[in-house]
Amino acid sequence: MKDTTNPMPPLRPPHEVMRLARMGAMMPTRLSFLRVLTRRLCAERAVVRRTHWDMCADGFGTSVHRVVLGGRDYALISVSKPLDDASRSDRVIATAWDAAFVLFDGVPTDADIARVAAQAPRQEAGRFEPRDLVLSRANKSMRLWSEIVTALRAGGQPSASRIGEIGYVMRTTAVYGNGKFGIADRHLIEDRPELSGAFAAEMLAVYLIRQFSIDLVQHVGQGTLDRGLARHIGVGNATGLGMAPFLVTHPVLLNNWMVARETALARVLAVANIFPETRKRAARLGDRVAGHLSDWHVPSTPDEAALRALEAEWGGFRLHFADLSARDPYAEVWALAQAGSVALQELVLALLLELNGDIVDGLADCMIDPFGHPPRPFSGTEALRAAVIQDWAWALEIDFDDSEACRRFWYVSADKLEPRLGDRFAEEGAELETPLDIARRVKNLFGDLPKIDQPVSAFLREFPDHKHAVDRVAICAHHPYSEIRDNLIATTCRPIDMLRCKLSFFGATKFDPKSDLWTRITLAQGAPLGDELNEERDDWWLPVMSA
Amino acid sequence: MVAGDERMSRSWTEVQALATRAAAGAGVPSAQSLAFGAMLARHLADGGAEAPLQSALDAPERIVALAQRVEEVIEAASVSPRPIKTVEPDAAQRALLVSWLVGLPCRTAVDVSGETVLAALDLSAPSTRARTERLLVSADLDADLGALAARTYVADSEASRTMGAGANLMDTD
C-alpha cells in the first residue's frame, strides 16, 4: 500500500533491455503467465475435481480433471501408458511418452475420452478437434518418481530435500496450442476473459498436468503425500530450440510483454513511500529469495558457478530489503542494484514487482497482441533510412563478412519438423535457412537503399527480398521492444538466453541449462493445489520448501 | 476429411502456417510468403476458389507481383483516405488481390467492378473481419501445399540430429 507517488520515471531503453545477456537472466514475476492464471483461479476460488480415474495399479489408463473457470467447464484428459526407458526422450523427434494430455473445452463424454485416448498418445501424428484446446505430453522423472512411490508404499514420506532438489515427477516436453494439429485456434477462445491472457490455455493445461502427476504418483504409491510436500511438486519442462524462434516471429507480442514488464518496474520506482507492513513483507521476500537460491543447484559447472555468485551477491544485497528507507524506497534500492550484476538487477526487478501487485497486476491485460501489426508504410526510402539509423545502429555495426558473425543458421529439419541450428560453413542446408537473421537483413537493406528518396514500394519492386527487413524496421519504429538487439546467427549467440526470456514470462523457476540449446525448468512449484485455490495462497513466488 | 467430398477440415493456423511454408518452398521471399499464408486462409474462409491459389503457387512471380500491388495500395492509403483504384485484368490474380486486401490487419472495404478493384483502407483501425472455426481444403491443395512446404525442410543427418538440436536422444533421469 502506498500513500504518495512520484512521477513515473522513463522505461529502461530497448538497447539496455533487449540484449540476450539480460534476457538470459530474467526471472519469473507476478506478470508471468502461469502466475496470472493461478491468480485468476484463486480469485474465483476454483476447485479442481477428478471426475474420471480409470488407472491400473501401475498407473496406466485415463483420467479427467475438471475445473470451472470464468463460468465455463474445462477438463484435462490424461492418458498414461507404459514406456521403455530406451524410448524416453525429451526431443521433438520422440514418438512415445509416459503420458499424453488434451485440455478439453467443456465436459468430455466417454466418447470424447476414448477419442483423445486414441489420438493424444500419437501427438504430432494425431488429429484433433476445435474442442481440444491444448495438446501436451510428459515423461516421468524416474529418479523422483521411484523415490516417492517407494516411500509411500512403505508407509512413509519421501525426502523433502529430494523434492526440493528435483521439483517434479513429470516433465512436459511440448505444450501445443493455437491450432496445431487441428486443435482450436486461439481466435476461438481469445474473447473469453479467463483465457484471454497470453498462453492462458496452455498454462491451465500445465497447472492441471501438475495436479494429474501428483495424483498419479500417489495412486501408484498407494499413499498420500504430506500437503506441504505435494505443494512443492511442480511440473517440469524440457525446452529446446523450438521455443526460441517464437520471440523473433512474434515481434509485437514480444514488445507488449516487455513493455508491460518495464512499465511495471517504472510504476514501482515511482512509489514515494510505503507502509510498515510492506517493509516487513519486503524483508520476508528477501529471505525467501536467499532460501530459493540456496536450494537451486544445477549440474552444469559454469551455470552452478553463476548461481553461487548470485547467491553470494544476494547475501549482501538483501540487507537493503531488510531496511527499506522511508522515502523513495524502491528507487533507492533499484539505484543500488545498478552497481550489481545483470542477474542481480533482474532478480531485484522481480522482487519489486512481487511487492506491488496492486499497481502491477493490471498490466497483465496488456500482454497480448489482439490486432496484429497494421501496415504503417514509410513516406519514402529516406524515412526508412532514418528509422534504420535510429533503431538499428547496433545491427549496422556488425561485420557480416566475418565468418563468426554469420556461422550459424536456423532451420527446420525434415525429421519431424524439429527446429535446429547448423554451421553454414560445415553443414548442408543453409540455403533453406529460417529467416531469423534479422540484423543481417536490415544491414543488407541499408546497403541497398537508393541515394535519392523514392517510394518504398518502388524500391521493393527492384528489391523484393528486402520486404522482410522493411517490415521489421516498420514494426520496430512503433514497437521499440520488438527486436532482440543481438546477432542471432553469430557463433556467440546463445539460444538458451532466448529460452530463458520466454520461459520466465511463462513463470519458470529452477532453470537447469543442459547446453546452450536446451534447458529444463520447473513450473508451479509451490503453487496452491487444486483444492486450495484462494487468494491467501497466491504467495508462491520463488518458493522454498518451508514457505 | 469431410464426408461426401474430398475436403480436409483444418484449423486456421494450420492452413496459414502451411501456406506460408509452401510459398517459401515455391521460391517466394519470406515476407511475401507470410502475407500469402494469411491471404490464402482468408481466401478459403470467404469461399474463394482454389484454382487461383494453385496458379499462384505454380508461378511464384505472381505472388510477388500481388504483394507488390498490395504494397502500392497500402502506400497510397497512407497518404490519402480516398479509395484506391487498381486494375487487374487477370481474374485469378484479381480474386487473390481481393482476398489479400481484405485479409490485411486493418479495416478494409473492397469493391470489384469488372477488372477494377476499389479498396478503402483505414490503416489506423484494426480489422473487424471474423475468422472461421475451421477451413476446408481439398485433398489436392493440401497435398500441393505439403509438397511445396517440404522443400523448406533440411534433410536429416547424423550430425544434425545429434548436434543441431536440444535435448539428448534418450533422457531417463
pLDDT at B160: 78
Distance (Å, whole) CA B170 – CA B173: 10
Read off the amino acid at residue A213.
S
Q: Which ranges of chain B would DSSP assign to H, the alpha helix?
A: 12-26, 30-45, 51-58, 60-79, 91-102, 139-150, 158-163
CA distance B140 to chain A (A): 18
Mean pLDDT throughout A502-509? Answer: 98
Locate the chain A residue with the closest alpha carbon to B33: A468
Chain B residues within an 8 Å CB radius of A173:
167
The confidence band for A417, taking pLDDT boundaries of 50, 70 and 90, is confident
Asked whether residue A6 is assigned to any structural domain, the reply reads no
Asked whether residue B147 is assigned to any structural domain, the reply reads yes
Asked whether residue B165 is assigned to any structural domain, the reply reads no
Asked whether residue B76 is assigned to any structural domain, the reply reads yes
The confidence band for A1, taking pLDDT boundaries of 50, 70 and 90, is very low
Count of domains forming chain A: 3
pLDDT at A323: 86
Strands (E), A56-203: 61-69, 72-80, 99-105, 132-140, 168-176
The confidence band for A547, taking pLDDT boundaries of 50, 70 and 90, is very low
Asked whether residue B137 is assigned to any structural domain, the reply reads yes
Condensed to tens digits (0 to 9), the pLDDT of residues A174-207 reads 999 999 999 999 999 999 999 999 999 999 999 9
pLDDT at B5: 64
Element (H, E) at B112: strand B107-113
Q: What percent of chain B has pLDDT over 90?
A: 84
- Any bridge partners for residue B8, and if so which? B137
Mean pLDDT throughout A472-477? Answer: 97
Q: What is the DSSP string of A327-384?
A: SSHHHHHHHHHTTS-HHHHHHHHHHHHHTTHHHHGGGGGGS--SS-------SSHHHH
Chain A residues within an 8 Å CB radius of B167:
89-91, 173, 238, 240, 514, 518
Condensed to tens digits (0 to 9), the pLDDT of residues A4-37 reads 689 999 999 999 999 999 999 999 999 999 999 9
- The ipTM assigned to this model is 0.95
The yes-or-no verdict on residue B68 having pLDDT over 50 is yes
pLDDT at A512: 95
Statement to judge: residues A412 and A461 lie in one domain:
yes
CB–CB contact B13 A186 (8 Å): yes
CA distance B170 to chain A (A): 4
Enter the C-alpha cell of residue B103. 485479409
Q: Look at strands A419-423 and A408-412 and give their pairing.
A: antiparallel
pLDDT at B167: 64
Q: What is the mean pLDDT of chain B?
A: 93
Asked whether residue A389 is assigned to any structural domain, the reply reads yes
Chain B residues within an 8 Å CB radius of A184:
11
Radius of gyration of chain B (CA): 19
Distance (Å, whole) CA A401 – CA A397: 12
CB–CB contact A375 B32 (8 Å): no
Which of A413, A453, A456, A459 has the highest number of chain B CBs within 10 A, making it the mutation to test binding with B? A413
Locate the chain A residue with the closest alpha carbon to B18: A180
Chain B residues within an 8 Å CB radius of A179:
11-14
Radius of gyration of chain A (CA): 24
CA distance A365 to chain B (A): 18
pLDDT at A326: 74
Asked whether residue A317 is assigned to any structural domain, the reply reads yes
**Residue among A379, A19, A46, A87 nearest A194 (CA):** A46
Read off the amino acid at residue A408.
R
Asked whether residue B172 is assigned to any structural domain, the reply reads no
Owning domain of residue A429: 381-478
Asked whether residue A12 is assigned to any structural domain, the reply reads no
Mean pLDDT throughout A150-172? Answer: 95
pLDDT at B164: 77
CB–CB contact A238 B152 (8 Å): no
Statement to judge: residues A183 and A327 lie in one domain:
no
- Any bridge partners for residue A72, and if so which? A69
Mean pLDDT throughout A378-403? Answer: 98
Asked whether residue B34 is assigned to any structural domain, the reply reads yes
Owning domain of residue B54: 7-126+133-152
Condensed to tens digits (0 to 9), the pLDDT of residues B48-57 reads 999 999 999 9
The confidence band for B4, taking pLDDT boundaries of 50, 70 and 90, is low
Statement to judge: residues A43 and A176 lie in one domain:
yes
Asked whether residue A542 is assigned to any structural domain, the reply reads no
Distance (Å, whole) CA A517 – CA A505: 18
The yes-or-no verdict on residue B172 having pLDDT over 70 is no
φ, ψ at B59 (rounded to 5°): -135, 80
The yes-or-no verdict on residue A479 having pLDDT over 60 is yes
Asked whether residue B104 is assigned to any structural domain, the reply reads yes
Mean pLDDT throughout A494-516? Answer: 96
Chain A residues within an 8 Å CB radius of B164:
413, 420-422, 427
Asked whether residue A440 is assigned to any structural domain, the reply reads yes
Distance (Å, whole) CA A285 – CA B40: 52
Statement to judge: residues A46 and A141 lie in one domain:
yes
Asked whether residue A546 is assigned to any structural domain, the reply reads no
Condensed to tens digits (0 to 9), the pLDDT of residues A57-109 reads 999 999 999 999 999 999 999 999 999 988 888 887 889 999 999 999 999 99
Asked whether residue B45 is assigned to any structural domain, the reply reads yes
Count of domains forming chain B: 1
Chain B residues within an 8 Å CB radius of A130:
11, 133-134
Asked whether residue A7 is assigned to any structural domain, the reply reads no
